[in-house]
């Protein structure tokens, strides 16, 4: 590849840009993971993570893994072979979690679903009420923000549907592309297991996976009987209590995690969410002005972290992405699964500000022109107008106190 000046624009919906502060923190010399300094680090990280997940008195497990490892952990710690679980075909990542569940011998009911829409509470309630399987579902597994489609599902409404159906299934939520970008309150929302990864809203490189767990999920662990060693919550919890890990942790990623959490708490989590929501609105303003279609067809379900953009028929979205990468050194997300070639995805999450987004949208607008894709000009102008005319307004934060950045560091 020829020399490229300036910075690469990484705007796939994860991995995201790693801030310089985090890169510097990770470049520190590795320390003894069985020494006293490490134990203190673990304590600070778990405090910060509990706060980030809205699980202030619960347990967060940190694995050296990608998000998919977090899926495996959520299943192998709670289920028994043949357990029935309920899922909806929300997109490529829901399908991935389903494949993991099937590989563990679970019986997965995957309900057909329109990828452009969120899972509705009614659909969940119907499915739970009129289920006539031999055994009740043990778990409902929902992707909070489907990164394939840019569609966000309302988790408190899903919780309400479980309660309305008086159902005891565990509520498991994939928050890989929502944590750190949009509100997520585990205890308040009644979620039993949250699965996450490091490379998106947490602004770290790939390499850490998380399970944040409720007391009910921990009780399910007592009856679980799937093969489970590396992922064992209890072994991890026991060691974490004295500040250590059952095996060698990803020490330098943990240095980065400490810095990333400090950054999130310095800005204020709810200010971070407001920033994401505003950048997402500006992105959609550009897409609409270009005359292209935001793939998500429910305005209440627009994602704050990723926008999937449908290209006109006859255009291959990957050809457009290639033109944009070649000419402007800007990486956008490919269409996944059945959306391959039909959409491109703009990641507007993590360490990003107004001018970075303006650069991304400019690259796309110039790319549309160079690739000969039928569109109207003026998308960037519409986004700038949106940004210039809106001040960020923070969504209402829960009343409990948030972590003190000084405690994280
Ligand atoms: N879940 C969602 C919503 C994702 O976006 C991803 C990855 O992008 C995953 C799970 C899988 O995570 P990983 O690729 O880190 O294994």
Predicted confidence (pLDDT) per residue in 228-256, tens digit? 999 999 999 999 999 999 999 999 999 99
Cβ atoms < 10 Å from Cβ of 30: 10
Cα 202 to ligand 1 centroid, rounded to whole Å: 13
The pLDDT confidence band at residue 3, using thresholds 50, 70 and 90, is confident
**Measured from the CA of 69, which atom of ligand 1 is nearest?**
16
**Measured from the CA of 148, which atom of ligand 1 is nearest?**
5
pTM above 0.85, yes or no: yes
CA distance 335 to 342: 6
pLDDT digits (tens, 9 = 90+) for 37-67: 999 999 999 999 999 999 999 999 999 999 9
- Phi, psi dihedral angles at 297 (to 5 degrees): -100, 5
pLDDT mean over 210-230:
97
**Confidence (pLDDT) at 399:** 55
| pLDDT over 70 percentage in the chain | 95
The pLDDT confidence band at residue 391, using thresholds 50, 70 and 90, is confident
The burial class, CB within 10 Å (0-12 / 13-18 / 19+), for 313 is exposed
Cα 350 to ligand 1 centroid, rounded to whole Å: 15
Q: Hey, which of 197, 209, 303, 350 would you mutate to test ligand 1's pocket, going by the most ligand atoms within 8 Å of its Cβ?
A: 197
Cα 71 to ligand 1 centroid, rounded to whole Å: 9
**Confidence (pLDDT) at 124:** 98
Q: Which residues lie closer than 8 Å to 314 by C-beta, 6 or more apart?
A: none
Cα 372 to ligand 1 centroid, rounded to whole Å: 32
The helix/strand/coil state of 306 is strand
Cα 225 to ligand 1 centroid, rounded to whole Å: 25
**Confidence (pLDDT) at 395:** 65
Which tokens go with 340?
Answer: 């391959």
The answer to whether the CB of 147 is under 6 A from ligand 1 is: yes
21-25, 68-72, 405-409, range with the lowest pLDDT: 405-409
């Amino acid at each position: 590849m020829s020399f490229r000046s300036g910075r690469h624009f990484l705007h796939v919906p994860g991995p995201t840009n790693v801030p310089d502060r985090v890169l510097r923190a990770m470049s520190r010399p590795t320390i003894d993971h069985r020494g006293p300094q490490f134990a203190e680090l673990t304590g600070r990280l778990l405090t910060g993570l509990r706060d980030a997940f809205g699980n202030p008195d619960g347990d967060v497990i940190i694995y050296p893994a990608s998000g998919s490892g977090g899926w495996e952990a959520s299943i192998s710690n709670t289920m028994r072979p043949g357990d029935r679980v309920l899922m909806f075909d929300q997109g490529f990542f829901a399908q991935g979690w389903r494949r993991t569940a099937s590989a563990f011998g679970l019986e997965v009911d995957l309900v057909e679903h329109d990828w452009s829409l969120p899972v509705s509470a009614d659909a969940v309630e119907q499915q739970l009420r009129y289920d006539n399987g031999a055994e009740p579902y043990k778990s409902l597994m929902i992707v909070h923000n489907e990164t394939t489609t840019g569609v966000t599902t309302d988790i408190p409404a899903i919780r309400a549907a479980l309660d309305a159906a008086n159902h005891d299934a565990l509520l498991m939520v994939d928050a890989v592309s929502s944590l750190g970008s949009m509100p997520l309150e585990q205890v308040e929302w009644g979620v039993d297991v949250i699965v996450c990864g490091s490379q998106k809203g947490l602004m770290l490189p790939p390499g850490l996976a998380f399970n944040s767990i409720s007391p009910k999920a921990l009780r399910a662990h007592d009856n679980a009987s799937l093969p489970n060693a590396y992922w064992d919550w209890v072994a991890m919890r026991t060691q974490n209590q004295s500040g250590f890990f059952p095996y060698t942790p990803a020490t330098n990623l943990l240095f980065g995690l400490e810095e990333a959490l400090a950054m999130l708490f310095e800005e204020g989590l709810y200010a971070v969410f407001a920033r994401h929501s505003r950048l997402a609105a500006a992105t959609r303003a550009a897409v609409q002005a270009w005359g292209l279609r935001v793939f998500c067809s429910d305005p209440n379900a627009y994602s704050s972290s990723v926008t999937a953009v449908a290209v006109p028929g006859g255009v291959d979205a990957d050809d457009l992405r290639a033109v944009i990468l070649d000419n402007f050194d800007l990486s956008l997300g490919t269409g996944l699964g059945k959306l391959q070639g039909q959409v491109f995805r703009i990641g507007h999450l993590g360490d990003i500000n107004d001018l970075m987004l303006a650069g991304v949208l400019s690259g796309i607008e110039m790319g549309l022109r160079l690739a000969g894709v039928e569109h109207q000009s003026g998308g960037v102008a519409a986004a700038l107008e949106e940004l210039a005319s809106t001040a960020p307004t923070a969504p209402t934060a829960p009343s409990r106190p948030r972590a003190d950045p000084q405690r994280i560091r």
